[in-house]
C-alpha cells in the first residue's frame, strides 16, 4: 500500500504483549510511514525506563506525559503509532487519537499474552504479578476501555505479524 492512500495516523492500542510494537514495525515497512513507539519516546525524554518513571515520578505523571505526546502526533504526515497499554484508559487520549487517526485495538488471549511477556522485566504493572490469572483480571478490567476506544479490533492470538498488519491495513483503508 502506498503512503498516500493512508490519510490519517494509525494508533495501535491494546494490552501489553498484544503485538503493538511488532505490528507497528511491519506496518511501517509495508506503508513507508514513520513508526512511533510512545514508550520509547517517553523513556528517551525522561532518560529512564518505564519502570523507573513509575517508581520515581509515579504512574499519574507517566500518564500525563502520554497525553502530551499524543497531542504532538496530530496535524502532520500520517504515522504508525504504537501506544502504551494504558493510553486508552483516559477519555481525553481517546479523543485526541480519534481526531487525527484510526484507533486499532490489538488483542490476544491471556495465555498468549503471558507467553509473550513472561520473561520481561520492563512491565511495571506485572512486576510481582506475572501469572495468567492476573493478566486475565487486568485484561478484563481494561477491555471495556479498549473496545470503546477502538475503530477496529484484531485478535493477534493465532496470527503471524504480517497477517495482523494486512488485517489492519485492510480495515483502515475501507
Could you tell me the pLDDT band of residue 93, with boundaries at 50, 70 and 90?
A: very high
* Contact predicate 15/113, CB 8 Å: yes
* 13-30 per-position pLDDT tens digit: 998 889 999 999 999 999
In the predicted model, what is the mean pLDDT of residues 109-115?
88
Q: What pLDDT sits at residue 173?
A: 83
Percent of the chain with pLDDT over 70: 89
**Beta pairing class for 152-155 and 79-82:** unpaired
Q: Model's pTM, two decimal places?
A: 0.89
What count of other Cβ atoms lies within 10 Å of the Cβ of residue 2?
Answer: 7
Which residues, in sequence order, are bridge partners of residue 106?
14, 154
Amino acid at each position: 500500500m502506498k503512503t498516500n492512500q493512508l490519510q490519517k495516523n494509525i494508533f495501535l492500542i491494546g494490552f501489553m504483549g498484544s503485538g503493538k510494537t511488532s505490528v507497528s514495525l511491519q506496518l511501517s515497512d509495508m506503508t513507508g510511514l514513520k513508526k512511533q513507539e510512545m514508550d520509547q519516546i517517553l523513556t528517551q525524554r525522561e532518560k529512564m525506563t518505564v519502570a523507573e518513571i513509575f517508581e520515581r515520578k509515579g504512574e499519574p505523571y507517566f500518564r500525563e506525559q502520554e497525553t502530551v505526546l499524543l497531542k504532538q502526533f496530530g496535524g502532520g504526515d500520517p504515522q504508525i503509532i504504537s501506544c502504551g497499554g494504558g493510553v486508552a484508559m483516559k477519555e481525553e487520549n481517546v479523543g485526541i487519537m480519534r481526531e487525527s487517526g484510526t484507533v486499532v485495538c490489538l488483542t490476544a488471549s491471556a495465555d498468549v499474552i503471558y507467553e509473550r511477556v513472561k520473561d520481561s522485566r520492563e512491565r511495571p504493572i506485572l512486576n510481582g504479578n506475572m501469572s495468567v490469572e492476573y493478566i486475565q483480571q487486568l485484561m478484563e478490567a481494561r477491555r471495556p476501555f479498549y473496545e470503546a476506544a477502538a475503530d477496529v479490533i484484531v485478535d493477534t492470538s493465532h496470527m503471524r505479524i504480517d497477517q495482523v498488519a494486512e488485517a489492519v491495513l485492510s480495515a483502515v483503508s475501507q
